[in-house]
Chain A
Amino acid sequence: MNIIIASALLGVVLMLSGVFLNHAKGKRTLAIFASIILMVVAVVDVMQNTNNTILHFNGLMATNSFTAKLNAVIAFCSMLYIFLFSNEISKVGLNDAEYFALIFFALTGVFILTSYQNMFMLFLGIEILSIPQYILAGSDKRNVKSNEASLKYFLMGAFSTGFLLMGITLIYGATGTFDVSKMALMGSGEPSTIALLGILFLIVALGFKASAAPFHVWTPDVYDGSPTAFTPFMASIAKVAIFAAFIHLFHASFAGLAGRWHIIIIAIIVLTLLIGNVTAVYQQSVKRMLAYSSIAQAGFLLFAVYSLNEISQKGILLYGASYMLATMSIFAVLIKMKDYTFDGFNGLAKKQPVIAFAAAIALFSLAGIPLTGGFFGKYYMLNGAMQNGMPIWVLIFAVLMAAISVYYYFKVIQAMYFKTSIQDATEPDAVIDVPFKVMLIINTALLILLGIYPTIVTIF
């Protein structure tokens, strides 16, 4: 609970800092401190938490060791995000204090989504998470693509929230309660049509937010059009939060009706993996390719929704952690490039070996190569689904799609290591100083650590 209050307060503080501090560097430093404070609060929460579930606010929120650990992982990754991107965030526009504040307000939504117990809090969390992102997506006011991204995101978000509210209403009509854990008890006997329809609407709504196919159409334009400083936040942290909410809802409430909605999830998984991977192959711009690849990664995360066991919780921790770390790394490198196409990366390994190595390990992790966290993340997802009786052809299909993903991830590695270029690949005024490289090295080391010893994250 502390962490929700902490992130909201820190957001207000950062907002006011825009009034009192004039120097961009001061606001950046304040943002970095704020993220460190948030991390400390999260760690304190982890140490205080026992295995029992504690209810707060009359049963609106529930925390246990899993939510505390997930919050800590997310807080750590947001700390890394602020460290790596604070310079770039300041460069987006004039209102840099507001940008940092909006990020912290979005994080408040994230922390609500990880520990909600009542459907209202689910709705609140999604809205608190999304609305700052609508603003952030459009913050580069002179860029038409940014305006388009913001409007598209807002319209789709509002539309999907409508589905969410309709779904919540129908479930209330069927079960008589908004409490996520109490809904499960009501599910005995033949489920009514209202309940099934409600579940369907909830799948649609959460599918929109999670950029699962066929609800994914907004994702490439929004991720590509937003300023590159904000895309990693949207693509990684926000997505993991939505998936944590998705999994919690379906495990706690609808596990008993799994026979009904499992088939829909399988269909969504197959479509998402197919569309995400195949369209990513044809992209010319690395930023757009990463946007489509995040759809494909969402496809893998959906396996955790299918598997109703403890492995999926460990999986979401591990997959989420390695996905967030890898996204931070690759976008941190991308934002320093002059040219976002694949050929823009030519020769990076020779000029900037440390950065190229960090990007390579991040891409290995996204592709699922062993010795990186991404491999064990995919392993947990596949294993959990297999134990829950997923048909084996879906798993074979998933790994074949993962093999396709290797193609477009490795195109970047090929450009960096095997091709040469006369000019520098990086922007001339990009700040690639020692602290930045140190952060990237820490990121890379964590990814490899997760690949060698994944139990660090999964023990809770």
Chain B
Amino acid sequence: MSIIYLIILAIAVGIFTFAIHKSNTSLAAWLALAVSTVGVGITALLCRIVVRGNDGDVLDQRFDWLPDLGASFATHVNGMSAALCLLASICFVLIILSTINKNIEKPNSFYGLLLLSFAGLIGVFIAWDAMLFYIFWELALIPVYFLCSMWGGENRIKVSFKFFIYTFVGSLLMLIGLIYMYNKTPNHSFSYAAFAQLKDVLTAAEQQGLFWMLFIAFAIKMPIFPLHTWQPATYSQSITPVTMVLSAIMVKMGLFAVVRWLNPILPEAGHTFSTVIMALCVIGIVYASLLAMVQSNIKKLVAYSSIAHIGLMCAALFSFNDIGIIGAGVQMFSHGINIIGMWILVYFIETKFKTKDMNQMGGMAALNPTFAIFLVVITLANVALPLTNGFIGEFMMFNGIFNAKYLNGNTYNVLFTVLAGLGIILGAVYSLGMVQKVAFGDVKDNSLTKENTKFTNFEFVALCIVTILVIIFGFYPQPIIDLVKI
């Protein structure tokens, strides 16, 4: 039982769903749900194996693939990759639950592309060979490009094309960096072990150049200010289930790549540039939070809040101390769950109110009180209220940033922590402002009644799962911390 079976299963079922006849509209959704649930099972078992520390066969696998290129099909699962694979599976379950009975057009292609992107994302999280990592990195992008372009707003083709080319340029720079590093390895191999020895071989100038070539690719994916311009438009033009894939899991690709492929392999360059990068992240946090405050489009508001959250995680990763990195790992998991909950609610809101403009919304709490409960709980989780799962990660990350090593000035750590904290406060402002505009106040749209603003059963289940996870991991986050540490 290895996670590679999950990838193969997802690809096989994904390709199969394309062949389902048009008249059968529900089979694709159920197949996708089945694969994702199997995925949750496999990845949960995997997490258990990682924590118990036995059975190296499952965690470390290697198949010969292209020996004369020095590339092999090597996978390695450590704590953070297991956590992210579990996150991906849970998120896909939630995404599919939220889309059932919502009348998505061309469902066969939709669920097929979802499954193919699932396979690509899992592959990114487990790859232990640089060529394999690059291939999965690109493969995760192609189905998402089709998902953004085939469904969505009027401007979606241009916007997702910009997203694709932006990300592709970054990946090509990463390719040159990887080829350069491959040529510097003593035995011309793409394996992680060979790359890990590079820090003794590369000169400081080489390390710094390679660092930027790789980091630009990851920074575009996360995104980090100033390479974030593709994100708000893409998030708001795509349909919300696709936005869920983008913001819950795809951004974690960039963060994970920094943890696995950038900082361990090019540590000195990381130390040199950590001030610059943390500065960019912190600027991004404040900038995105300020922009979120003035948004009236609810999707753009959540998109900007996502930039702020990711900026904090990236800054913590570059603090180079254990508690910051573990905090970022915990927060990757929690943020994924919380943001999915948020997007499910946004999906509900935009279908019921038939608009994305918050100024035209209001009074949903009177029509659907359960909605208000979910909204408040998930919003407070996003704001990192203590006893929600968002809190412990934020606390550890702030601790890490405050104790950051390798910063150039003496007071930068205080400055960064304060500014990041400012971002959290602004986060509370715009999040609670959004809650007020959407849920409370008078009902402006008179066509809404209690009957037509109910949840579907599947949405209800998905939101319950999210809320339960928020509360459980808010009270007892230790399992995640233990998992991510390994």
Contacts and interface: CB of A to CB of B under 8 A. Distances in A.
Interface residues of A, number: 29
A12 interface: no
Contact of B176 (A370, A395, A458): A395
B139 interface: yes
A453 B69 CA distance: 11
Given A371-B135, A403-B172, A418-B150, A382 B66 contact: no
A33 interface: no
Contact of B165 (A383, A387, A399, A403): A403
B198 to A, nearest CB: 15
Interface string B135-164: 100110010001001100000010001001
A316 B276 CA distance: 43
Interface string B376-415: 0000000000000000000000000000000000000000
Given A371-B135, A458-B68, A392 B164 contact: no
Contact of A371 (B139, B176, B180, B209): B139
B172 A402 contact: yes
A458 B146 CA distance: 32
B351 interface: no
A178 interface: no
A19 B173 CA distance: 58
Nearest to B172: A399
Contact of A417 (B135, B146, B165, B213): B146
Nearest to A404: B165
A406 B164 CA distance: 9
A96 B66 CA distance: 44
A454 interface: yes
Contacts of A400: 169, 172
Contacts of B157: 414, 418-419
A50 interface: no
Q: Determine chain B's interface SS by DSSP, over half rule.
A: helix
Interface in A352-386: 364, 369-371, 375, 379, 382-383, 386
Contacts of A403: 165, 168-169, 172
A377 to B, nearest CB: 13
Nearest to A378: B175
A453 B135 CA distance: 13
A407 interface: yes
Nearest to B68: A455
A406 B157 CA distance: 15
A431 interface: no
A370 B168 contact: no
Contact of B182 (A375, A383, A453, A459): A383
B179 interface: yes
A11 to B, nearest CB: 37
B183 interface: yes
Contacts of B261: none
Interface in A390-406: 392, 395-396, 399-400, 402-403, 406
Q: Determine chain A's interface SS by DSSP, over half rule.
A: helix
Interface in A404-445: 406-407, 410, 414, 417-419
Interface residues of B, number: 29
B214 to A, nearest CB: 13
Contacts of B192: none
A454 B182 CA distance: 18
B134 interface: yes
Interface in B36-93: 65-69
Contact of B183 (A370, A386, A414): A386
A392 B157 CA distance: 34
A417 B134 CA distance: 26
A365 to B, nearest CB: 13
A399 B176 contact: yes
A371 B176 CA distance: 18
Given A370-B134, A402-B172, A406-B168, A418 B179 contact: no
Contacts of A402: 172
A315 to B, nearest CB: 12
A430 to B, nearest CB: 25
A162 B12 CA distance: 57
A386 B175 CA distance: 12
A392 B180 contact: yes
Contacts of B139: 370-371
Interface in B154-206: 157, 161, 164-165, 168-169, 172-173, 175-176, 179-180, 182-183
A419 B161 CA distance: 14
Contacts of A453: 65-66
Contacts of B68: 455, 458-459
Given A386-B179, A386-B183, A455-B68, A410 B164 contact: yes
Contact of A382 (B138, B149, B164, B179): B179
A382 B149 CA distance: 31
Nearest to B65: A453
A381 to B, nearest CB: 11
Contacts of A407: 161, 165
B179 A383 contact: yes
Contacts of A399: 172-173, 175-176
B138 A370 contact: yes
Contact of A396 (B142, B149, B176): B176
Nearest to A380: B69
Contact of B149 (A364, A392, A414): A414
A383 B172 contact: no
Interface string B192-229: 00000000000000000100010000000000000000
B183 A383 contact: yes
Nearest to A385: B179
16 contacts: A369-B142, A371-B138, A379-B179, A383-B182, A386-B179, A386-B180, A392-B176, A392-B209, A396-B176, A396-B213, A399-B173, A399-B176, A406-B164, A406-B165, A414-B149, A454-B69
Give the 6 A-B residue pairs with the shortest CB-CB distance, closest first.
A399-B172, A370-B135, A403-B169, A370-B138, A418-B149, A418-B157
